[in-house]
Structure 1
Amino acid sequence: MNRKPKSLLKSAVALSVANALVVSAAYAQEKDQQDIEKIEVTATKRVTSIQEVPLAVTAIGGDALVDMQITDILSIEKAIPGVTVASFGNNPQVILRGAGSAGTTDIAVPIYHNNMYLPTSGQALAGYMDVERIEALRGPQGTLFGRNTFGGLINVITKKPDTEEFDFGVAATLGDYGLQKYEGFVNVPLGDNIAFRLTAADEQRDGYVENINNPDGDLKDSDYTYVRGQLLFTPTEDLSINLTMSHWKDTGNGSLNWAYKAAGIPLDKNDPTKINAIDGYLDPRMGVYEGCAGEPDRAGGRSQAGNVCTGDASASIVNDPRKIDYDYTPIRELEETAVYLNVDWEVASHSLVLNAAAFDYEAINLMDAEFSSMASWVDGTYGTTKSKQVDFTISSLFDGPLQYTFGVYHFDSQDPDNKSAYLFGSLTESWYAYAGATPETPSWAYWNNEGRGGTKSTALYGQATYALTDKLNVTAGIRHTKDDRESQGSNSLGWGNWEDHLGPDLPTYNYDGKEVERGEDSNTDYRLGVDYDVASDVMVYASYATAYIAGSTDLATQKLLDPQTNKSFEIGFKSTLFDGDLRLNGAAYNAKYEGLTTTAFIEQGDTGVAVATQVPGGSINSRGIELEGFWDVTEDLVVDFGVSLDMSEYDEFIVGAGNLVWNGEAPIGAETINGAHVFVMDGENTPYTPDMTVGVGISYFFDLGDMGTVKPYVHTYYNSGYMTNRAPVFFGEQDAYAKVDLSVKWQSVDGDFTVQAYVNNATDELIQTYTEILSRARVAYDYAAPRNMGIRFGYNF
């Protein structure tokens, strides 16, 4: 095998960005190449080595994504210190440094694709194919990036066309659960200054969750296609124009609307006729909780899922968390078409960059609502999000102590076709407003209605860095944003005219007499920072930064409510030690989130009755430490690691008891304020924020001479546990766990052919990603994927 001399390798590594959590797979593959390509990031809207960026940034190369089996947003947390992904239905939510754990009216840690903001969390479910790198920016990025970078952002950057040579690659992955995944790319130069790149993938996989009643209703499966075409035009050496169009569609059953696994009802150990969500037990069934006749120690009751007291099979719950007993075959379809334009022009010692995008995303999710084998109720959501955005920046390129970036950003999702609704329907005819319903033609609930609206946002921003000395730099940034939000609710379907309520098509709503509610607000965010080169390979830095999310529209005043804000301090260091063999980066932060939506009580006129509602006023304190690094122990042994200590907690926050209230009685552990039952969460840990996570990856190269190389890789991830619900309920606790991923990859001498066998979650940990409390105090869970394994065959890909 051909290797570079060790001294040359160290020099390249010292200059390279490699990730703060530089995953061993990406770096190790680069060791075998004649020239180690310098991986850089655009975290500051200019191409910079990650070791020179005075921010907490993690970059994961495309090869590393493949080697670590990071295929989408749901599997990314093991590579980024402090990240947790809450997942339910079609709504993955990234929680970082406490941001996104509670109380925001929009995405708190958004996903960007090629520097463009994805306005709905469902769009982040697109898989990672032909990716150059992923950049994770931790902490608020309010001065440079488009929208809602409240606690940070994750930017997925795809590979671009190459005008130099024709190239192609293919890969096939086969695995358990019937996995068949095929992907590939082709790069075609069409002349000296124009090239085309096509990327495509198709994935089929059976469900991780078996439906013992209806095999067509297995959950957590995959039926996914993706295609992306790019056209690059470089009329001069200083000007490039890249046009991209992508389309993906997922018609798998996925998960249910809220959570897929019915778990039971939380009852008091001493009195099973009472709800106790604090230290009770889960009675494994769906239904209300009055005791069975003649069985005072056995909770029972009648519900839409049957009567457990009389032994109805549909009223019971399958104990296996990866098995369900539901009758309904889900209807689910996610589809996105996106167009991107990137223009990069270097002129007069400046870089002018135009990024623009238009998204058309549609989602429908219709699922079993009563979690049983009875043909009874269904519920779900549907929505359309059409949006467009433009980001234009001017950045300095000349030599000198002052470097700056100025820009303007505009986002618009106020398309009249942007509609969404929660749906509820019956599959059986009944006296209660479901005339004519059958499993083939559900009757939609008369109280269903639809909403439409969107946001326009315009921002002017700038950030500059000035070198006071050869070692000391100061940075200042500012961004002024103006937001306009509008919303409009439709009329309900109404009582009567039952034939108009029947499916299978989705109902059509009218907006007659309904006014458009609109609110406007503006905000200014800041960044102040300083960094100092202690030595040629050690930098320390400190920064203060803010970010915000626009408030929702007040229905009474038609103005935007106060926004959610983040004021964050960060200190950190970046170092390259042991002659380039060890790169060690760390950061400590203290963030204050304010204006979070919390429960309050509004008195209704002169009645003296207070009604619970969501208003700004909640707050969270977040403090923590992050450490990450990469150690080239020997020429063949590589270790990567990441550690996060997170002390996020509610400062002032109230969570309504909501569906835990039954017969007007407060559940045990709740307080009663102004007649409403709530949990006061002040000082409690925020959900999805484990006190500690530790990830360690170890790989070793075996040189087989003319037969290539073999590289085994072991990644161990420890999580100290966290809450999966905002309330302090015992059934929302995810205990500490340790998860192990294994892989071994063979690579030919020329590097073209690879065979990789892998086992994800080899310890088969049962990991809660979400806990939902449904009506009548019913509890349901969502879980991450179980142990799964496969083998990937690749050529140049």
Structure 2
Amino acid sequence: MRSILLATAAMITIGTPGLALAQQAPGQSAEQAADQGNAGIAEIVVTAQRKAESAQKAAIAIDAVTGDTLLQQGISKAEDITKSVPAITITNGGGSNTSIFIRGVGNITSSSYNDPAVTPSYDGVVLGRAAGAFGSAFYDLARVEVLKGPQGILYGRNATGGAVNIIPARPELGKNGAGFNVSFGNYDAVNVDGYLNLATSDNSALRVAATRQIHDGYNRDGSDDLKRTGLRGQFLIEPSDTLNLRIGADWTKVGGVGPGGTYIGAFTPGPAGYTFTPSGFDTSEGFNTDAANAYRKTLIGAPGFGFLNAMNQDASTDFTYWGVNAELNWKADIGTFTLLPAFRKSSGNSYFYGPAFNTAFNAETDKQYSLEARLAGSVGMMDYVVGGFYFNEKINAQNEYNQEFVLPIQDYTHKTKSWAAFGQLTAHVSDRFRLVGGARYTRDKKAMDGIINNFITFCGGLPPANITPPASFAAGCAAPGALPHYPNFLTTGDTVNWLATNGWIAPGSTDQANTQVFALLNGKGTILKTYSPVVDSGTYSRVTWKASAEFDVGPQNLLYATVESGYRAGGFQLAEGKSSYNPEFITAYTIGSKNRFFNNKVQLNVEGFYWKYKDQQITYFTVDTSGTLINSNENAGKSTIKGLDVDAIFKPTSTTTLNGKVQYLKATYDDLHLFTASPRDNIACPFTLTGGTAGGAPVKDFNCSGKPLLYSPKWTVNLGAEQVVPLGHALELVGNVATAWRDDQWGAFEYLDFEHIRAYWQTDLNLTLRAADGGWSLGAFLYNLENKRRIATPQRSPIGMAVARYTAPQTYGVRFSANF
């Protein structure tokens, strides 16, 4: 089947993600299919430019995936959106934080105070944290829009990599209807969602939707499971032709074990570097099985260099996300005024292991208020959009990242206030030629009031008097009971009291608001308690801009060229000696063409892009001047990103659809330097010594220039085919196959071999029997035909292990849908 698809792809000049994919929906009737066949490929209406327009008429790089396509491809959560959008990668290495990459632009972080490089939005409301949007379920959606490249003018907050907008299906006036989808699959999967649309009057409507999604863990310790419940309501009223108001509310509860991972192996330092020893586990072992814990206890952890313990706490996640928002549109003589007020809150906690912590805990509450106001209209040859944006966010968090001989404890409040004024003009120079110019002034104010304390147990004395292997074995540090293994405390007072009560340090020892040193009473080691408060604030501002030209070569042929800039504010962090980082910037050049041919039977869209990226914010494990391990956000230097997207759809008949997307991407660091010291210096890049020291060890400058950006495969290919077979006048049989190729890519900045994600294919199959009138459908699905789990998030643990989270295994089941 794959070879057939590839051959077909070659014949029809298949392409990539630069655009929208329009397919026959599973619930279409034969009459609808025939109508669509006469009209050719269906249109998808998008609102990415703050107006409703066909994706084919939008002179921007955008993928739009309809709600029907999401259902058909089994996309019920954000991580799976790459099935339809090859340019995007979404990862989670543990906890509630989510990392988003588009064409290599993104950031991996476990800290919620780092802004995303790719801005998530729900129903047009920008979200400060990706977890709020992507922790929620994908159900009863109109579409998901993915914009590629900097969004610095019309789209909420500034973003350097792009934006993802999740758009729910909206209430429909004058219509009473309902529908549901229910599916059952392996891993005891049950996925149920439904909606109800009520015409409450001639000019108002209510839409309510809900979902419940569950499946057992893909790993033997129960991790990578799913327990999610969602509820959404919207009310729309249109008192007149010039005024409408829509009010919405949504709520999501996420529970279960949460994201997991597996030990790939461990690194042992030596005179010639690091030696890697595989763990022997398959991709589904997990961190908290008997076998995994037995393996863990054979490993030693720095800087105490004692053997590690089994996991001390079961992993779990318990988060609630909810929000309210409204959209008011008023058509006046000067244009349409739109107001978008919103409030969102997320709160909860999670115990998690990645990357091989024992055990990390996050307890966090995020609140955000936002308000956007804009006016869109026309004057003579000019179309205009002007507006303002306000964003106010507050994060309260208590975190610990237990590494057994190192216990980092964080407690902080982080605040962000952002103001922006924006405008965009479109000059209709002629009926076919348009010039577009836009600018946005943004002012971001950030404040951090927090503290990070580290309890660090050294074998022997403090550096440089600490003892390392093999001498640490002779010193007795690896003997059972020689060193304390920290419990999962959230306060320094509890930790000091535990150490004193259990006889590790002197009786009567107390916690003080400064750096402290405690000698172990058994003489085996020394504990350093660091004290690093961060109370700081700062303001960042930037003017971002856009200039483009659009030319209608024909009624269904668009040619465009754009240059635009993007910016992501700097900020503050809980990292000793490195409490702040600077903004990052990008300038993107794009030329594209969107086309329909042969009476809408063929769609061919092409986009070429060239991006210059400066001061990228990356997060990696490094050390401060005392030798303390810190997870620091750094400005990485420069990179160049360039490539080509092609997107093709061929619909020779009303019952046959072929589609393909291809992206060629070359994303390379022109300048990337990582600084660290032993024993955290396992990085596969050449280095020079800086002359400085950290914890008595020389600081190394690793030059990773020339390496590719993370999650930037050189080639990505998505191919699909759908065939509808009429079975008389009452029934239709629909077959769908989709396969995707992802080229080699890197998943972490150390560029170690296990972080190299090898190229792979993944294929999904659907077979559906449906009523010709669209009233019901019954289908079977098989996802991941190859039945292989691929590395999704590789992580080099700060205590020496190589670990990874993997993609889903093969899943299959049946689905029943109905509409009334």
Equivalent pair of 2:18/2:606 in contact (CA under 8 Å)? no
Letter in 1 for 2:751: P
CA separation of 1:558/1:193 partners in 2, compared to 1, >3 Å: closer, same or farther?
Answer: farther
Note the alpha carbon deviations across 1:643-681, whole angstroms, 9 max, x for none: 1111001111123456xx33x877675513313134311
Displacement of 1:370: 9.2
In terms of mean alpha carbon deviation, does 345-354 or 740-749 score higher? 345-354
CA separation of 1:63/1:385 partners in 2, compared to 1, >3 Å: closer, same or farther?
Answer: same
Letter in 1 for 2:688: T
Displacement of 1:532: 1.1
The unaligned stretches of length 5 or more in structure 2 are 1-16, 37-41, 282-292, 301-305, 454-490, 501-510, 515-530, 691-697
Task: Report SS of the residue matched to 1:153.
Answer: strand
2:433 corresponds to which residue?
472
Equivalent pair of 1:598/1:655 in contact (CA under 8 Å)? no
Letter in 1 for 2:366: T
2:391 corresponds to which residue?
411
CA separation of 1:478/1:369 partners in 2, compared to 1, >3 Å: closer, same or farther?
Answer: closer
1:282 corresponds to which residue?
278
1:237 corresponds to which residue?
241
Note the alpha carbon deviations across 1:291-314, whole angstroms, 9 max, x for none: xxxxxxxxxxx99932379xxxx9
CA separation of 1:205/1:81 partners in 2, compared to 1, >3 Å: closer, same or farther?
Answer: closer
In terms of mean alpha carbon deviation, does 360-369 or 456-465 score higher? 360-369
1:64 corresponds to which residue?
69
Displacement of 1:281: 5.2
Equivalent pair of 1:519/1:560 in contact (CA under 8 Å)? no
CA separation of 1:510/1:346 partners in 2, compared to 1, >3 Å: closer, same or farther?
Answer: farther
Equivalent pair of 1:19/1:59 in contact (CA under 8 Å)? no
Equivalent pair of 2:726/2:732 in contact (CA under 8 Å)? yes
Distance 2:84 2:108 in 1: 23
CA separation of 1:657/1:471 partners in 2, compared to 1, >3 Å: closer, same or farther?
Answer: same
After TM superposition, list the pairs within 5 Å mapping 1:591-740 onto structure 2.
591-597=611-617, 615-616=634-635, 618-656=637-675, 661-662=678-679, 670-674=686-690, 675-740=698-763
2:768 corresponds to which residue?
745
Distance 1:514 1:275 in 2: 35
After TM superposition, list the pairs within 5 Å mapping 1:11-160 onto structure 2.
20-26=19-25, 29=28, 32-33=31-32, 39-89=44-94, 90-100=96-106, 105-123=114-132, 124-160=134-170
Distance 2:175 2:127 in 1: 32
1:390 corresponds to which residue?
371
Percent identity of the aligned residues?
Answer: 21
2:503 corresponds to which residue?
none
For 1:246, which of 240, 250, 256 is the aligned residue? 250
Task: Report SS of the residue matched to 1:633.
Answer: strand
User: In the alignment, is residue 768 of structure 1 matched against residue 749 of structure 2?
Assistant: no
User: In the alignment, is residue 539 of structure 1 matched against residue 500 of structure 2?
Assistant: no
Note the alpha carbon deviations across 1:215-240, whole angstroms, 9 max, x for none: xxx01111111001111121112211
* Higher-strand-fraction structure: 2
Question: What is the total number of aligned residue pairs between the two structures?
Answer: 707
Distance 2:728 2:268 in 1: 65
After TM superposition, list the pairs within 5 Å mapping 1:432-443 onto structure 2.
none
Distance 2:704 2:29 in 1: 49
Displacement of 1:409: 0.5
Displacement of 1:613: 6.8
Equivalent pair of 2:780/2:814 in contact (CA under 8 Å)? yes
Displacement of 1:86: 2.6
1:180 corresponds to which residue?
190
1:321 corresponds to which residue?
none
Equivalent pair of 1:220/1:255 in contact (CA under 8 Å)? yes
Letter in 2 for 1:20: L
Letter in 1 for 2:391: F
Distance 2:707 2:681 in 1: 24
Displacement of 1:194: 2.1
2:335 corresponds to which residue?
350
CA separation of 1:601/1:754 partners in 2, compared to 1, >3 Å: closer, same or farther?
Answer: closer
Task: Report SS of the residue matched to 2:641.
Answer: strand
2:231 corresponds to which residue?
227
Displacement of 1:566: 0.7
Equivalent pair of 1:26/1:64 in contact (CA under 8 Å)? yes
Equivalent pair of 1:82/1:646 in contact (CA under 8 Å)? no
Letter in 2 for 1:422: N
Note the alpha carbon deviations across 1:462-517, whole angstroms, 9 max, x for none: 01110112221100000000010000114753356756899xxxxx9999996741
In terms of mean alpha carbon deviation, does 556-565 or 674-683 score higher? 556-565
Distance 2:642 2:512 in 1: 47
2:582 corresponds to which residue?
562
Distance 2:589 2:674 in 1: 28
CA separation of 1:27/1:565 partners in 2, compared to 1, >3 Å: closer, same or farther?
Answer: farther
CA separation of 1:698/1:327 partners in 2, compared to 1, >3 Å: closer, same or farther?
Answer: farther
The unaligned stretches of length 5 or more in structure 1 are 1-17, 212-217, 286-301, 318-324, 433-444, 503-507
CA separation of 1:164/1:589 partners in 2, compared to 1, >3 Å: closer, same or farther?
Answer: same
For 1:587, which of 607, 627, 636 is the aligned residue? 607
2:362 corresponds to which residue?
381
Task: Report SS of the residue matched to 1:144.
Answer: coil
Distance 2:724 2:598 in 1: 21
Equivalent pair of 1:569/1:591 in contact (CA under 8 Å)? yes
Distance 1:612 1:796 in 2: 50
1:551 corresponds to which residue?
570
1:485 corresponds to which residue?
446
Distance 2:347 2:151 in 1: 28
1:422 corresponds to which residue?
399
Task: Report SS of the residue matched to 1:51.
Answer: helix
Equivalent pair of 1:24/1:697 in contact (CA under 8 Å)? no
1:790 corresponds to which residue?
813
CA separation of 1:652/1:703 partners in 2, compared to 1, >3 Å: closer, same or farther?
Answer: same
Task: Report SS of the residue matched to 1:360.
Answer: strand
CA separation of 1:724/1:115 partners in 2, compared to 1, >3 Å: closer, same or farther?
Answer: same
CA separation of 1:370/1:243 partners in 2, compared to 1, >3 Å: closer, same or farther?
Answer: closer
Letter in 2 for 1:344: N
TM-score using structure 1 length: 0.81
Distance 1:473 1:73 in 2: 35
Distance 1:136 1:142 in 2: 15
User: In the alignment, is residue 778 of structure 1 matched against residue 801 of structure 2?
Assistant: yes
Equivalent pair of 1:25/1:67 in contact (CA under 8 Å)? no
Task: Report SS of the residue matched to 1:210.
Answer: coil
Displacement of 1:397: 5.3
Equivalent pair of 2:265/2:277 in contact (CA under 8 Å)? no
1:265 corresponds to which residue?
266
